Amino acid sequence: MAWCEECDTLVEDEDLGEEGECPTCGTILAEQERGPLPWYFKYLVLATVVYLGYRTFQGVTWVIHHV
Ligand SMILES: [Zn+2]
């Protein structure tokens, strides 16, 4: 069941539209299904890890040369 704030009423699951919308006002009420992480998110994480690793390596190298 979902609560429609527009209509101020409770909507039964079987009354929801195909997109999970309210049959009266059309507001989407159903929780959108969360699919798998988008592919670019993995690359973003990978890029961040590589970048941070590189910066850490740079920092360590700098320290070694300046101690
Ligand atoms: Zn509604």
CA 49 to chain centroid, in Å, comes to 20
How high does pLDDT run on average in the chain? Answer: 90
Q: Are residues 28 and 45 in the same domain?
A: no
Residue 30: predicted pLDDT? 81
pLDDT of residue 32: 63
pLDDT at 34: 67
Q: Give strand ranges (E) for the chain.
A: 2-4, 9-11
pLDDT interval class at 1 (50, 70, 90): confident
This prediction's pTM: 0.45
Cα of 48 vs centre of ligand 1, distance in Å, is 43
User: Which tokens in the block code for residue 18?
Assistant: 């195909």
Range of the domain at 42: 36-67
Task: For residues 1 and 23, state if they share a domain.
Answer: yes
**Closest to 3 (Cα-Cα) out of 20, 19, 56, 63:** 20
Domain identity same for 28 and 43? no
Q: How far is the CA of 13 from the centre of ligand 1 (A)?
A: 13
Total domains in the chain come to: 2
Q: Could you tell me the distance, in angstroms and rounded to a whole number, from the CA of residue 38 to the centre of ligand 1?
A: 31
Same domain, 44 and 65: yes
The verdict on 29 and 42 lying in the same domain is no
Say yes or no: 26 and 44 in one domain: no
| 38 three-class SS | coil
Give tens-digit pLDDT for 13-40: 999 999 899 999 999 988 766 677 788 8
Rounded to the nearest angstrom, the distance between the alpha carbon of 65 and the centre of ligand 1 is 67
Kindly state whether residues 52 and 67 are assigned to the same domain.
yes
